[in-house]
Chain A
Amino acid sequence: EAGVAQSPRYKIIEKRQSVAFWCNPISGHATLYWYQQILGQGPKLLIQFQNNGVVDDSQLPKDRFSAERLKGVDSTLKIQPAKLEDSAVYLCASSLRTNGEQFFGPGTRLTVL
């Protein structure tokens, strides 16, 4: 069974530029999560999808971050414009149930200069 795929693995941009991350969850997993992990901290939930609907985006900085999950499968997370404090690893995860174990992708390490 293929795991959660993410791309790119690394991205370096300058502040005020835009960036997009892509995630392909495990087949059949209805729930998809985007987390932000700042160095030395635990993952912080940015947005959670159930199929193609948003369940929780309470911690998503909506003035600059957006995410979509078209057709309930792949998802894209965008930052526009990026700030220095957005430097982090962005993790995508998926699960069969919202109270089930989550399967994580390798993450995208973003550096904003």
Chain B
Amino acid sequence: AQKVTQAQTEISVVEKEDVTLDCVYETRDTTYYLFWYKQPPSGELVFLIRRNSFDEQNEISGRYSWNFQKSTSSFNFTITASQVVDSAVYFCALSEARNTGGFKTIFGAGTRLFVKA
């Protein structure tokens, strides 16, 4: 069964703190894709990263980094030196192959991050 769990509903940090957002997934497939999206207060979801199941190399993009561990079915997202502009809801998503072809994506419930000045 395809499932994405973001156990942290809300996180509040003070600016310049590091923060990690957790994502745990379940899938029956060996080929799948993981994503993170950001939804700022304006409402429009913005793509952050895509990772395929065969690439466990961690990735860093500026203050953002992602830790993919297949052994624990986790794809965690860390923001280093958080800023007020990082305040948003962050969604983890999983794409899994359909029996009928193509891929189906499901989203986690999201983690709301508050960064206080």
What are 9 A-B contacts defined by CB distance under 8 Å?
A42-B110, A55-B98, A56-B98, A97-B103, A98-B103, A99-B103, A100-B50, A101-B50, A104-B37
Interface string of B8-40 (1 = CB under 8 A from A): 000000000000000000000000010101000
Partner of B47, one of A50, A56, A102: A102
Q: How far is the CB of A60 from chain B (nearest CB, A)?
A: 14
**Interface 0/1 of B74-109, CB less than 8 Å to A:** 000000000000000001000100101011111111
Contact between B45 and A99, CB atoms less than 8 A apart: no
Contact yes or no, B107 A43, CB < 8 A: yes
Binding site for A on B (CB under 8 A): 4, 33, 35, 37, 42-47, 50, 91, 95, 98, 100, 102-110
| A-B pairs under 8 A by CB, number | 57
Residues of A that sit less than 8 Å from B by CB: 31, 33, 40-45, 48, 50, 55-56, 89, 91, 93, 97-107, 109
Q: Distance (Å) between the CB of B63 and the closest chain A CB?
A: 20
Interface contact A42-B95, CB-CB below 8 Å? no
CB-CB < 8 A to A102: which residues of B? 37, 45, 47, 105
Q: Is the CB of A42 within 8 A of B33?
A: no
Q: Could you say which residues of chain B place their CB within 8 Å of the CB of A100?
A: 50
List residues of chain A with CB within 8 A of the CB of B33: 99
Contact of B44 among A42, A98, A105, A109 (CB under 8 A): A105
